[in-house]
Amino acid sequence: QMCIRDRWYQRRVREVELVLNSLGDNRSFLLENLVPVQDMLALLRRFFKPSAAECDEFSLAIADGEGGARLTHSHERQYRYVEQSLRLWAEILGNFFELWWLADRDLLSDTHRYELSDTGQGNHRVQPAPLVERRMRQLLAKVQAETDEWVGSSVVHLGDRNVPNALHFIDKYTQVARILAPIVTTLTWLERNYETKLRVEKYVDETFGSIERLLKLILTDFFRYAFDGSGADNFFQAGSCVDGRLTSAWNWCNQIESKPFYPAFVLAGFASFDGFAA
């Protein structure tokens, strides 16, 4: 009896450990992936007002054909567009483990088989992902219900040329933190070290006038051109659709070295969006 009881106890201990480790994994994922989105949303609300721009220099307004933009938005509309995009990313990442589980089921489905097809970016396994798509539409509807007016398209690409299968979907949204975290970390470093390091204060004041102006310049550029519908060969592949918002953000990252504030990123320890350390 003792032997049976001991084995049962050990099994229960292992099960509890597995649950605790799983909770720890989820917390680590949220800290690494969700928190940067929440921090960026806080920066948007801290430095910008939705109703009107402080001045033309810090206006979020964009126009089709200017600076590579494919959308035309007033400051207020662009503010809402960015805010809604970030809120949707937060909702997706907050439910990411469920989406990952659904993606596995879609990929291994006996009902929905894949077809090897040229998507314009090489040959890919194009496969419907009905479980992930259904959950995505629920998350999108939740965010839309919390807004007065949804800005942009509600199209969710899955199982097509843009997002061929559930694995591509998962990979796409694991990039969000790799985009946002280096920017948030850079801004935090600059603001923290401006008051404590003379060389930082001198560079910022001589080049940009003040730390607040530098932070606003970076954020204005990001909120304009990382959410402007650019980044693909045509409007259907980027634009304002749910997935195109992330495509535009990646496009902004690819142009970071051409930005006038790029030296400030380097000063803060930025190396690349794939290998940032500060």
Residue 239 backbone dihedrals phi, psi, to 5 degrees = 60, -145
What's the pLDDT tens digit per position in 226-275?
A: 999 887 665 555 567 888 888 899 999 999 999 999 999 999 999 888 76
What's the pLDDT tens digit per position in 85-122?
A: 999 999 999 999 999 999 999 999 888 888 888 777 78
Amino acid letter for position 236? F
Sign of CA dihedral 21, 25, 27, 31: positive
Residue 57: the pLDDT is 95
With beta carbons less than 8 A apart as the criterion, state whether 154 and 240 touch.
no
Both tokens assigned to 91: 């909702």
Query: Which whole number is the average pLDDT over 153-163?
Result: 87
Query: Which whole number is the average pLDDT over 7-11?
Result: 73
Task: Give the global pTM.
Answer: 0.88
Q: Is the pLDDT of residue 6 over 90?
A: no
Residue 278: the pLDDT is 42
Report how far residue 165's alpha carbon sits from residue 163's, in angstroms, rounded to the nearest whole number. 6
Q: Report the percent of the chain where pLDDT is more than 70.
A: 93
What b-and-e string marks burial along 153-177, b requiring 16 or more CB atoms within 10 Å of the CB?
beebbbbbebbbbbbbbbebbebbb
Three state DSSP letters for 225-239: HCCCCCCCCCCCCCC
